Structure 1
Amino acid sequence: MKTRDSLIRLKRFQVDEKRRQLAQIESMIAEFNRMADELDVQITTEQERVGITDVTHFAYPTFAKAAADRRDNLRNSALELDDQLQRAQDELSEAIEELKKFEQLEERDHQREKTAQEIAEQDELDEVAARVRLR
């Protein structure tokens, strides 16, 4: 029984760890997207300031080019993290299912113990009642 308690604690820890990893990945994706959005605003501002929006124009601002590259890299990183996010969600689901299995086994064992205890108590009461009838 102690082994199963330890196993349940381990599974709960694993579920919590998977949740932390999932939250961390979600946070990173949100941060990358926020930074990319800020770069979009900076690019637009720079294009309006210079008056050139054609990326192939010889006088297109170097800052806007560099910011666009950085923005694209952030968007690509966010997409790569989406794959990791999906895997992390799948792993979390699996960990939760494993935890549920062990918790159900534990609950079933507790129910068996409770039923056995109730039967033993009923047997004792029946024995006492039988003694009282014999007197």
Structure 2
Amino acid sequence: MTLLTSIPKDTRQQLVWLLDQLVSPGVVSATLAATDGLVLSHTDGISRDDAEALAAAVSGLWSLGRAQSHLVGGGLRQQLLEYDGGMLLLSAAGEQTALAVVTGPAHEVEVDVVAHRMNELAAQVGPILSAPPRRADGPGRS
């Protein structure tokens, strides 16, 4: 698993254990991403390059979902995309942070169980993983 290095070592170890708990029969990988498209963490079931591409997609999907929240009221909490070969589940995991889980085909996974476990994980790690918006005047910017 890869983690953002600014997270304290004790917290990193706890997050490794928690995120790895999502990987079960039918679950291929789990990725934590800032909603601006940066990878915060990912399991071994996905390469770093694929995790970065997924984090970029999460950013776009999350933005689209939030833009349409006025149609159903309230904030965006989860999204599910189903493909021929599997599913992508997205869940809020703290302020400006999302959890993305890739599964195998729908008939090989209990989606309700995976979604429930994602919500449990988000409740446990959300405050730790909250990624504040980056500032335009940050390091390297004028």
Whether TM-score is above 0.5 comes out as no
Tell which structure's C-alpha radius of gyration is larger.
1
Instruction: Point out the structure with the larger strand share.
Output: 2
Q: Which structure has more RCO (C-alpha within 8 Å, separation ≥ 6)?
A: 1
- Sort the TM-score into its range (normalised by shorter chain): under 0.3
Instruction: Point out the structure with the larger helix share.
Output: 1
